[in-house]
Structure 1
């Protein structure tokens, strides 16, 4: 059983938690482009260790925030940590007057598709051939036995 978890906004050097971002991002090229953007919250276990994170980046006009990266360390998956991270962003976005959250994930990641829908997100569009070597991804990536090629976007009204 996992330790007690707390979620808090992260104000440290993001390089210190880049390992967590890499749990969800296979392109070093894209990670380098967005690592320093927006706001980040972390989940910490009872010992204070970071066990997951979520990053949200406001759109130019501010009425939409994009969740660009979120991950939870393997031993803590399925324990509510991910949902707690999502709800921290929902609370902060609501306080900031944001009307909608958006995020994207691979269509191949069936676990993520279930998770985001359970958190109140709805699918809005699919973009073909996003996970390619030209964008910094390995030639062949497989998730749950499905080749990772396409991206699905989700939205949640606040």
Structure 2
């Protein structure tokens, strides 16, 4: 992680950092439905600007949190910022007695598939045809040269 980057829980107005959420979410209706849920941590650079975030939402009555959205601004990707955000959630979840983290991403996003596995997550299931116009996504989205249609779920035991 670059020197002087710090990760902290975010307690401000999430509208201030919605741009970061949009880096990872192409469906405005879905984003509006979860933007205010759960807890959010941000990564800040030396000048205090937000360069990434992560959101985790507790599942009702279960010792499980879902990481619903995470993103790092392009110039900081591959520098350890994403891993630091994941580890901040792991620490907070562990302190709260959570036993499992879950998250989902597009099967087309090969970079995300690699990243989450490197962070200790394991694939648990695939859900076909999630990224459709009926769910608020554009008609055609491509990631790494692959059409984005299906979703893969991951879990990490704590």
TM-score w.r.t. the length of structure 2 is: 0.98
Gaps of 5+ in 2: none
Query: Runs of 4+ in structure 1 displaced over 3 angstroms?
Result: none
Query: Does the aligned pair in 1 maintain the 2:106–2:148 contact within 8 Å?
Result: yes
Say if 1:126 and 1:151, in contact at 8 Å, map to a contact too.
Answer: yes
Does the 8 Å contact 1:2/1:75 carry over to 2?
no
Partner of 1:95: 95
What residue in structure 2 maps to residue 146 of structure 1?
146
In structure 1, the partner of 2:111 is: 111
Cα RMSD for the two superposed structures? 1.0
Residue 62 of structure 1 deviates from its aligned partner by: 3.6
**Separation (CA, whole Å) in 1 of partners of 2:102 and 2:62:** 12
Q: Paired residues, what number?
A: 158
Residue 121 of structure 2: aligned partner: 121
Deviation at 1:26, TM superposition (A): 0.2
Cα displacement (A) at 1:81 = 0.1
What is the DSSP-based 3-state SS (H/G/I as helix, E as strand, rest coil) of the residue aligned with 2:111?
Answer: helix
In the alignment, what sits opposite 1:7? 7
Q: What is the TM-score of this pair, normalised by structure 1?
A: 0.98
For 2:37 and 2:73, the matched residues in 1 are separated by 22
CA contact (8 A) 2:110 2:144 kept: yes
Unaligned runs of 5+ in 1: none
Q: Distance in 1 between matches of 2:61 and 2:51?
A: 32
